[in-house]
Amino acid sequence: MLMQDPLFIVVIVAVLVVAGILLTGIGGFAKGGDFNRKHANRIMRYRIYAQAVAIALILAFVLIRRGG
C-alpha cells in the first residue's frame, strides 16, 4: 500500500515539483525573449536543488523500506 505511506507521498510531491520546475524552464527556453533572459538560470538552479532533495528522499525511502 504505497499510496498510504507518508514518505512515498512526499517523494511523489518532490518529483512533481521537479517536473513542474523543469517544464517551466523548458517553456521559458522555447518562448525565449525577456522572461528567458531574466529567469532561465535561476529556474534551472532551482531545478537542481529540487532534484537533489527528490533524490535524497527517494534514497531515504528505499533505505527505510529495505530495512537498512
Helix (H) or strand (E) holding 58: helix 33-66
pLDDT tier, 68 (very low <50, low <70, confident <90, very high otherwise) = low
Burial of 67 (0-12, 13-18, 19+ CB in 10 A): exposed
The predicted-structure confidence for 5-62, as pLDDT tens digits, reads as follows: 899 999 999 999 999 999 999 999 998 889 888 999 999 999 999 999 999 999 999 9
CB 19 within 8 A of CB 52: no
| pTM of model > 0.75 | yes
Residue 1 predicted with pLDDT over 80: no
* Grid coordinates given for 39: 529567469
